[in-house]
Amino acid sequence: MAHFSRRRFLGVSAGLAATWGLSPQLMGRALAAPETPADVPTTLLQTFRQSSTPVTGQYRTLLAGPGETYTPRYDLIGKKANNARVNQRRSLAYLGHMSDIHIIDPQSPARLEPMQQMSPTLWQGAARPQDTMTVQVQAQMVAAMAAARYSPLTGSPMAAMFNTGDSADMISQAELRWYVDIMDGKSVVPNTGIEGQYDGPQAWPEADYAYHPDDPSLDRFGPYGFPSIPGVLKAAISQSVESPGMPVPWYAVYGNHDAIYYGTFPIDAALQSLAVGERKPAVLEALASNYFGGWASDPTVLGRLQHMITTQFGNQPDMRSVASDPERELFSQMGFMEAHFATETNPGPVGHGFTRENLESGKTYWQADVGSHLRLFGLDTCNQVTGADGAVPQDQFEWLQDELAKARDLNKMAIVLSHHNSFTLENGAESVTGPNQPLIHAEQFIDMLLQFPNMIAWCNGHTHINTINAHPRSDGTGGFWEITTASCIDFPQQQQLVEILDNKDGTISIFTTVLDHLSAADWSAGDFSQQGLASLSRQLSANDWVASPLKRLGSPLDRNTELLLPAPFDLSVINDADLATEIAVRKARIVAYEEAQK
């Protein structure tokens, strides 16, 4: 490594080899290898686009398209950048960003699929054609992150990955466990109920709101041109899904779907009973009259208990009998944190941002350092009362303000992580019984962040659309970038790579690179492999006739970009030798990961 003396190189190499139980020769060769742009599958090389003509009806397949280069954005420096930066810059941190994974247990009795009968637009997330394939998609996205463990821009090793929420879809314990296990590189069979048997609306003729791959003529998807794919439901819930696991430490924050039911409603005893029970509503009338109707007509505890008993044991019309499964239990706010402690120590960290202090205090926000000069701040912007959108509670707002000041004084760049973005940070719902604290909304939150020159990026999700916004200071002295990634559930099923570079000219660049999961552009009929099902999921999502899937791609200004801003402090305090040591530590972790994969 160029910034090491021979003695220091040998010492660092030997120490890291001992730490990871690898031979000094192997570690030495890996650390001595020059950092060059990695040839990894990203949207720099290939993109996915819809076919120009439909296959059947309006249904279109996907095709491989040309890659997209980086688009520079000068919003926060007010002028074009110095071209000399290309040859003199250095990588400070290379990161992965996932969001809105939405792992789904499609057989849970507590799902809201029948609401699609009332309004496919209003309830478009209640049932999707690709609901049975979410674990396969997550596994292939983890595989894509692992393949991109070295930067396609600089060759720098990945330092960390963060996930900005909505990991589970319907706060099911099974969903939460599957998501953590796939991140950790474990095998998952995404099935609850009877082994090898799918029990849900996609197989029930009366559920005409859902896509029936065995026979689309039974539903509204058939006339659109959705294909007949017999056997795909059983394949999706029967096969073991394998994951390589994240190669680097990963961190997580709450999304609204990790906090309350359907990301919108509070949980009660009747709903919990429905989730673990033996009766599942097949159509809207059953759901409305047997659950929502009973809740609305008698909201007392005793009334809901009587209704719960009637729903589970009475002869209710259009309630299907299904096998119960305790793994479908709905998890609590504390349960989400606890699941992140039932994890692997490598890559870790245990808790994935949350600490024992979080479990003891109940605080749902955290901070963590990635190297010596970058600090992550994980917020919980979810409203526990009601509503899909969020806000920043006063206690988190004040804590973050204090901690950003401390980070500034320590010459640490700051990245804030939350689920909600600046377009969706306006939820003001409060408990009628209290206690409540003030809720901070987007304008006030952004104004506070702009007080800190070390605040460089706010990364989030929620809207399932690739979006990048500049937040400038009113005096023209920079600002910060807001980076919103898409989702793993809706088209384009993309996530992001984020790299921070010191341009050595008084500016930094944040490069964003959009990442597709590792599966073919065009699904091959009959391919029920893990990669095949992930490919099929993306194709189905691209034909979402309720939403506008192509708009979720964002514009070129929202995808592969170079986001410039003034340096947050004098970056010469990050000396090259210390940075080289940090990069060596990151590279050693990845070398150990690669050896474990063999």
SS3 assignment for 176-200? HHHHHHHHHCCCECCCCCCCCCCCC
Cβ partners under 8 Å of residue 289, min gap 6: 316
pLDDT at 2: 64
Mean pLDDT is lowest, of 141-145, 312-316, 405-409, for 312-316
Residue 314 has pLDDT above 50, yes or no: no
DSSP alpha helices (H): ranges in 416-518?
Answer: 442-449
Residue 308 has pLDDT above 70, yes or no: no
Average pLDDT rounded to a whole number, residues 251-262: 96
CA separation, residue 255 to residues 84, 215, 592 (Å) = 41, 35, 32
- Which pair of tokens denotes residue 111? 């799902």
Q: How confident is the model at residue 299 (pLDDT cuts 50, 70, 90)?
A: very low
Residue with tokens 């650390």: 31
Q: Quick one: which H or E segment has residue 214?
A: none
Q: Quick one: which H or E segment has residue 231?
A: none
Overall CATH class of domain 46-190+201-266+332-567: alpha beta
- Which pair of tokens denotes residue 444? 């006030």
Cβ partners under 8 Å of residue 345, min gap 6: none
Q: How confident is the model at residue 265 (pLDDT cuts 50, 70, 90)?
A: confident
- Which pair of tokens denotes residue 403? 């901690």
3-state SS assignment for residue 520:
coil
pLDDT in tens, 49-103: 999 999 999 999 999 999 999 999 999 999 888 898 999 999 999 999 999 999 9
Cβ atoms of 37 and 151 closer than 8 Å: yes
pLDDT at 202: 97
- Which pair of tokens denotes residue 219? 């539903």
Cβ atoms of 413 and 373 closer than 8 Å: yes
Residue 297 has pLDDT above 70, yes or no: no
pLDDT at 578: 94
Residue 339 has pLDDT above 70, yes or no: yes
pLDDT at 200: 97
Residue 505 has pLDDT above 70, yes or no: yes
- Distance from C-alpha of 588 to C-alpha of 158, rounded to nearest angstrom: 11
Cβ atoms of 188 and 240 closer than 8 Å: yes
CA separation, residue 81 to residues 149, 512, 569 (Å) = 28, 17, 18
Cβ partners under 8 Å of residue 55, min gap 6: 61, 225, 227
pLDDT at 338: 98
Q: Which residue has the higher pLDDT, 297 or 478?
A: 478
Instruction: Dihedral sign for Cα 138, 140, 143, 149, please.
Output: negative
Closest by CA to 133, choosing from 593, 515, 519, 460, is: 519
Residue 286 has pLDDT above 60, yes or no: yes
550-585 burial code (b ≥16 CB/10 A, e <16): eebbbeebbbbbbbbbbbbbebeebeeeebbbbbbb
pLDDT in tens, 162-181: 999 999 999 999 999 999 99
pLDDT at 596: 95
Q: What single-letter DSSP state applies at residue 565?
A: E
Q: Quick one: which H or E segment has residue 303?
A: helix 301-313
pLDDT at 303: 46
- Which pair of tokens denotes residue 54? 């439909």
Residue 288 has pLDDT above 90, yes or no: no
Residue 369 has pLDDT above 60, yes or no: yes
Mean pLDDT is lowest, of 264-268, 328-332, 472-476, 477-481, for 264-268
Q: What angle do CA 187, 190, 194 make, to 5 degrees?
A: 125
Q: How confident is the model at residue 317 (pLDDT cuts 50, 70, 90)?
A: low
Residue 291 has pLDDT above 80, yes or no: no
Peptide bond into 347 cis (omega under 30): yes
Average pLDDT rounded to a whole number, residues 574-595: 96
424-433 burial code (b ≥16 CB/10 A, e <16): bbebeeeeee
What share of the chain in percent tops pLDDT 70?
95
Residue 231 has pLDDT above 70, yes or no: yes
Average pLDDT rounded to a whole number, residues 434-451: 95
pLDDT at 1: 60
Residue with tokens 């992550």: 376
Q: Where are the beta strands (DSSP E) in 473-538?
A: 479-484, 494-502, 507-516
Instruction: State the chain's mean pLDDT as an integer.
Output: 93
Residue type at 495?
A: Q
Q: What angle do CA 521, 523, 524 make, to 5 degrees?
A: 130
Give me the residue spans of the domains in the chain. 46-190+201-266+332-567, 268-329
Q: Is 341 exposed, middle or buried (0-12, 13-18, 19+ CB in 10 A)?
A: middle
Average pLDDT rounded to a whole number, residues 357-378: 98
Q: How confident is the model at residue 41 (pLDDT cuts 50, 70, 90)?
A: very high
Residue with tokens 């099935």: 191
Q: How confident is the model at residue 313 (pLDDT cuts 50, 70, 90)?
A: very low
pLDDT in tens, 105-136: 999 999 989 999 988 888 888 999 999 999 99
- Distance from C-alpha of 559 to C-alpha of 511, rounded to nearest angstrom: 10
Length of the chain: 598
